Structure 1
Amino acid sequence: MRKAFYILLFFMSPAFLLAQKKYVPSKENLEARGWFEDAKFGLFIHWGVYSVLGDGEWVMNNQNISIDSYEKLPAFFNPVDYKPEEWVKMAKEAGMKYITITSRHHDGFSMFDTKVSDYNIVDKTPYKKDVLRALADACRKENIKLFFYYSLLDWRHDDYFPRGRTGNGIEGRAATGDWNRYIDFMKGQLTELLSNYGDIAGIWFDGHWDQKEWDGKNYGALKADWHYDDIYELIHSLQPQCLIGNNHHLAPIEGEDFQMFEKDLPGKNTTGWGTNSSDIGALPKEVCETINGSWGFNLQDKKHKSDKELIQYLINAAGYGSNLLLNVGPMPNGEIQPEHIASLKQMGKWLEKYGNTIYGSRQGPVAPSSSMVSTQKDGVVYLHLLDEQQDTYLIPEFKGKIKKMMFFDKGKKVRYKVDEFGLTFRVPKEHRNNIDTIIRIELEE
């Protein structure tokens, strides 16, 4: 994932935004999109040899580690405690419906048995096993769908040239390269990922932003053509149902199947690289966020989010019509930090009770605010009240005739009034929930 200091406010060059021409989603793809919109909650996993250093997935760039030095890390990566079945069961108990895992990150190390390069977990580590194959098998057994994160940029590959904006302090990078050969390398790996691991639910691209020109003040056009037309067509030809998303922070590009938002709700821009409201398309949406402050394992990260913060982020994402992809960064031995497991378990318990207001829902008719979001499903609107201190609410211009309005927890009627000002109601203290007070509104047909 990107760091906060890379702000993407830029002019796009149309010549380099071409993707799959005249893309018509297949029946299988449209069905997969529907499933994706219903799923609402997934597990993101950032895992690679960088975990050995315990300083996040950007450690190669942030510490300017030379290629020669970094290539020593695989010899120390031996995840003998990796139990993919436990990972999948953990995700399932958390109420998650899919898993997205890093197949190759910006450091260029492949976490699968690729034949296109020997810089991979099977050939270069003492573990010598394909962790993605084991995870794919475990997901299949538990009916959890699997997505592969795939980095477009590469700080090690000679043919990643012209160089991007990151990794330029890394010693040992070649002074020349063949971009078309690099594109062929990616196509080879993507073909492997979509040919050797069964049905894959999606490919999650990252790194587009690395090829933006920078004059010291503003971002300009792309320096290189990502060949999205060919790459997207390749993916859909190998597995038509496979969903394509790209973490480019732009309006959707032709050939993509869902739109993603990094550490921001759709239309928000608290990070400085968020997508503006005008760039939100009609595709299914997904927000990705960390469970602490890091994507990859970070030994000194103390920014673990509370259970309340995590649950409310899931609720907010649903209120914006989006999935939440929540990240964990496993340790180098293959274990997930106990505090992360504990938080996911609490989210699962909450979803056992209130999941009906989230799963299968769509964005509700009430505009999201800091204190309230809404979801809707099967003619029922769910108001999620997130401020436990607030007692009186006014919803201007509420649409629809109310048949019944009840507290979801208590099953008791809500006293309300509809007039020229809108819908007004009060939530007595005894009916408030410290995480999410849910009101169920059944509408007349």
Structure 2
Amino acid sequence: MIKRDMYMDNAEAEAADRANPPLPNDELQDRRLAWWREARFGMFIHWGLYSLLGGVWKGQTVPGAYGEHIMLRGQIPVKEYERLAEAFNPVRFDADAWVRAAKDAGMKYIVITAKHHDGFALYDSAADDFNIVKRSPFGRDPMKELAEACRKEGIKLCFYYSHSMDWHHPDSQGNTHDYPNNIGAWDPLESWVNDEDKFTRYERYLEEKAFPQVRELLTGYGDVAIVWFDCGHKVTDEQGQRFVDTVRSLQPDCLVNRRVRRDGFGDYGNSGDNQLHIRINRKDWESIHTMNDSWGYKKTDHNWKSVTSLLHNMIDVFSLNGNYLLNVGPTPEGEFDEPSKHILREIGRWLKTNGESVYGTTGSPIGKPQWGRCTAKDGTLYLHVFEWPASGRLIVPGLRNDVLNTYLLADPQRCPLAHRRLNGEDVLIEVPAGPLDPNITVVVVEYEGEIDANPVKRLLEQDHINRFGAFDGDIQGSDLRYDTGKKDRDVVTNWVDPADYIQWTFRAETPGTCRVTVVYGAAEGEAGGTYRVELCGQRLQGTVLPKGGWYDFGSAELGTVRIPGPGTYMLTVKPDAITGTALMNLKEVRLTFSGE
């Protein structure tokens, strides 16, 4: 089950793609997106009245991962929430310091919450006085200061604006503890769109507050690079298009993200929040991530991600031709906290050396190698090695071009590395005994001509386990589906039909024996059944052994299969019998090569 505090982004990620509006002219689209495709990396900033509470209301920690949802989750009455503004005085706010921190981290654009779901605007709004200038002792417009700081430093300024929900406005969505007849936070569009009273009142909110505030942001702060909308699954197609048209009418070059409505809208796509694994359905897309769990500042959230894990996640996104937006939740005083500053400094240090492998690159033409990820640019592959090969032999799979040169990007001398072609598809590079950087070492491959590559996974015979993740497999059937792709949700789930199965394509270059291991979760008292793994005409049988919950993962070693020799093969997992409510949540299949 999905936790309810995650309701918004899951609905965004899973919104149905119905008849789409026409996409803009390709030339106009490319012109708008040119800077964004070059930038690759930006900063998200969630800051507002919720930062003052830090996830705690009247001495009690409010349930839910997201600190910025405290008004809804804590059912804080509007009148009490409004009074928080009297204490919101971020005297340590320094727009120049924020922008310098982003720039030093290697970020090229900033997306700041001009207004989040709580309805409090972080700028001087004439459309609604519930804002930082009119209601707080701070009395300044931080968006104006940020706009000036961004102009000085050459950073693109972008505004997050919660257009679909506003818990402060009596006619919007989400707040039913103050306004019982409102549209509820979890109410689907279909439940109210034909309700004349709710629809009419919601339109009043849009016309009184949402559209006027979007116009203010686009006319009072200079060039705006993106208006970043949220929860578009809660508005109609017509309403979503009106927001796009409003932006286009005022700043034609300003980008709009898909969350203005759904896929088919806006200039580029978005993943779900903190979605580590994704099935790409749009050329241009963006992945958004927190450094801990919450987006807004939360006093009790000390679950900080490691720099290595964030860098790996970031490079994974770049290798899939995506942009990466990393969040900071400033304190109520207006500062970045120390853990955030440490992470930003370390990412900036890595990018100062390796930025060439990020900015202006495109996705990997060679798929997802077992040792890491790849980006590409102008006759060059950048091999981001997450797992250094103990043998000193790094195989570049699927590269058919002639290789001109290879070297380590962090090597100031760029000394050539020995390399040779193994066959028509693969190149071997001899690398040093250990990596130059404990996070990611980048190996550069310069090749001749237009790229000619095979993205099909190549089985590696040594140094690495060959992992076939659920999100990299292709589902066949009616009920089996990919989970959210969040942490530990990188599984296929709802395996209730014995006719459904998942398969992967891979190739091998040598004969040999592989040990087969299946990693899955199976809830005790619910999951159950038998299944088979098929490969090279061989079958291995497995029995689901439920233990713990659906996301408590264990592994089962099924035996070995024989790879007969070079060729392209299919790896398939199929049920034999489903004896529980579902078979299992399959996370991955591993093939460990053990030679002849």
After TM superposition, give the deviation of residue 371 of structure 1 in Å. Answer: 3.3
The aligned runs of 1:101-112 (5 Å cut-off) are 101-112=112-123
The aligned runs of 1:311-326 (5 Å cut-off) are 311-326=311-326
CA distance in 2, matches of 1:70, 1:323: 35
Q: Is contact 2:72–2:175 with CA below 8 Å preserved after alignment?
A: yes
The SS at the match of 2:339 is helix
Residues 24 and 181 (structure 1 numbering): CA distance in 2 closer, same or farther, change over 3 Å? farther
Aligned to 1:300: 300
Residues 355 and 249 (structure 1 numbering): CA distance in 2 closer, same or farther, change over 3 Å? farther
Q: Structure 1 stretches of 5 or more lacking a match?
A: 212-221, 270-275
Tell me which of the two structures has the higher relative contact order, counting C-alpha pairs closer than 8 angstroms and 6 or more residues apart.
Answer: 1
Aligned to 2:474: none
**Alignment deviations for residues 401-436 of structure 1 (CA, whole Å, 9 cap, x no partner):** 212222333433143433156334454423453211
Aligned to 2:37: 37
Residues 321 and 265 (structure 1 numbering): CA distance in 2 closer, same or farther, change over 3 Å? farther
Q: Structure 2 stretches of 5 or more lacking a match?
A: 56-66, 183-196, 450-596
CA distance in 2, matches of 1:432, 1:146: 35
**Alignment deviations for residues 235-278 of structure 1 (CA, whole Å, 9 cap, x no partner):** 0111111000033795332xx11222234568x34xxxxxx43x
Which has the larger displacement, 362-371 or 335-344? 362-371
1:228 and 2:237 are equivalent in the alignment: no
Q: Is contact 1:18–1:229 with CA below 8 Å preserved after alignment?
A: no
Aligned to 2:77: 66
Aligned to 2:125: 114
Aligned to 1:50: 50
Instruction: Look up the equivalent residue of 1:333 and give its one-letter code.
Output: E
Residues 441 and 10 (structure 1 numbering): CA distance in 2 closer, same or farther, change over 3 Å? closer
TM-score by length of 1: 0.85
Q: Is contact 1:30–1:241 with CA below 8 Å preserved after alignment?
A: no
Q: Is contact 1:376–1:382 with CA below 8 Å preserved after alignment?
A: yes
Which has the larger displacement, 313-322 or 41-50? 313-322
1:143 and 2:154 are equivalent in the alignment: yes
1:348 and 2:348 are equivalent in the alignment: yes
The SS at the match of 1:351 is helix
After TM superposition, give the deviation of residue 292 of structure 1 in Å. Answer: 1.5
1:204 and 2:228 are equivalent in the alignment: yes
CA distance in 1, matches of 2:316, 2:95: 30
Instruction: Look up the equivalent residue of 1:36 and give its one-letter code.
Output: W
The SS at the match of 1:57 is helix
CA distance in 2, matches of 1:440, 1:22: 36
Residues 24 and 430 (structure 1 numbering): CA distance in 2 closer, same or farther, change over 3 Å? closer
Which has the larger displacement, 389-398 or 238-247? 389-398
Instruction: Look up the equivalent residue of 2:268 and give its one-letter code.
Output: F
CA distance in 1, matches of 2:320, 2:367: 9
1:240 and 2:252 are equivalent in the alignment: yes
Q: Is contact 1:66–1:172 with CA below 8 Å preserved after alignment?
A: no
After TM superposition, give the deviation of residue 95 of structure 1 in Å. Answer: 1.1
After TM superposition, give the deviation of residue 396 of structure 1 in Å. Answer: 4.1
CA distance in 1, matches of 2:144, 2:396: 50
Aligned to 1:171: 178
1:433 and 2:434 are equivalent in the alignment: no
Aligned to 2:6: 4
The SS at the match of 2:30 is helix
The SS at the match of 1:262 is strand
Aligned to 1:154: 166
CA distance in 2, matches of 1:96, 1:36: 11
CA RMSD of aligned residues (A): 2.5
Q: Is contact 1:102–1:148 with CA below 8 Å preserved after alignment?
A: yes
After TM superposition, give the deviation of residue 65 of structure 1 in Å. Answer: 1.3
CA distance in 2, matches of 1:194, 1:248: 16
Aligned to 1:215: none
CA distance in 2, matches of 1:434, 1:49: 39
Count, aligned residues: 411
After TM superposition, give the deviation of residue 78 of structure 1 in Å. Answer: 0.7
Give the structure with higher Rg (CA). 2
Instruction: Look up the equivalent residue of 1:230 and give its one-letter code.
Output: R
Which has the larger displacement, 257-266 or 334-343? 257-266
